[in-house]
Amino acid sequence: MHILIVDDEALARSRLRTLLGDCAPAHTFAEAAHAAEALTLLQASGGRIFDAVLLDIHMPGQDGLALAHTLRTLAHPPAIIFVTAHAEHAVNAFELDAVDYLTKPVRLERLQQALVKAQRTTRVALPVPVPEGEALLIQDRGRAERVPLSEVIYLKAEQKYVTVRTASRSYILDGSLAELESKYPEEFLRVHRNALVAKRAIRALEKHYDAEEGEGWALRLHGLRDAVAVSRRQVTAVRELLAR
C-alpha cells in the first residue's frame, strides 16, 4: 500500500514510519505536516496515488476532520485512518466513513488491523463492471428517467415498491427485489430480506444496534452516511465479499 502520514508532530510521524516498516516492508509512504501540504499531494492525482491516509485530528490550521471532509470529494478518495490522542472524536470520525480510529500511542497490532481494513475497502470499492448504458427506467408522474446502474448504491423493498438510492437522491421503482436480484447478480448482493446493495459500494461491516431488533450488523456504503442493516443469515456472504 502507498500511505500518506498527516501529522504536525515530527515524532509522531517518525513513530508511524517505524510501525509501518514493522507491518510490512512493502508499504511505501509520504508525509505531510499539515492539511494544506497533504492536499497538495492528494489533489495532484485526485487521491489516486494513495491507498490510505493516517490522519491526525488536532493540527494547526485546518484540522483532520475538516481535511477528511475534503478527501471524500476526491475522484479516488483514499481510505482514512484517524490517529489521534483524543478519543472523543470517534463518532465524528466514523460519520466521515473512516475505516478505523487509532489512539496514541499507536500499537503495532492495531495499526496492522487498520491497514487490513483499508486494503479490503480499497479492493471492494473497485467498480464491478456494468454493461455500458445499463440503467433502471424510473416512471414518475408521467415522466420517464433512466438511472445508470453504476450510480445505484442500494435497492430496498418498501411495501409494493422498490426504493432506488443513489448518492444524490432516491427514486421509486415499480417491480420486485427478487426480479432485480435475479437480473443483476454480479452487481448487487442480498444483505437483508428487503435490501440489495451494490457490491462496488460496500465499505465496511460493523456492529449495529436497532431499537426493534437489538444488536446486529450493518454496512457502511460509499457515498452514504446512513448504514444499511444486514440480516444475521447474510453476514457470512458479506464477510466473504469483503475478504476477496
Domain ranges of the chain: 2-124, 135-242
Q: Which CATH code is given to the segment(s) 2-124?
A: 3.40.50.2300
Higher pLDDT, 154 or 158: 154
Residue 28 neighbours by CB distance under 10 Å: 11
Residue 18, amino acid = T
Are residues 160 and 87 in contact, defined by beta-carbon separation less than 8 angstroms?
no
d(CA 45, CA 209): 38
d(CA 12, CA 77): 24
Residue 101, amino acid = Y
Percentage of the chain exceeding pLDDT 90: 41
Position 121 scores a pLDDT of 67
Residue 188, amino acid = F
Q: Report residue 212's pLDDT band, with 50, 70 and 90 as the boundaries.
A: low
d(CA 198, CA 57): 31
Which of 101-105, 128-132, 193-197 has the highest average model confidence (pLDDT)? Answer: 193-197
C-alpha neighbours within 13 Å on the C-beta side of residue 120: 21
d(CA 147, CA 191): 22
- Whether residue 88 has pLDDT greater than 80: no
Q: Report residue 213's pLDDT band, with 50, 70 and 90 as the boundaries.
A: low
CATH class of 135-242: mainly beta
Rounded CA Rg of the chain:
19
Summarize the confidence of residues 60-81 as an average pLDDT. Answer: 87
- Whether residue 98 has pLDDT greater than 50: yes
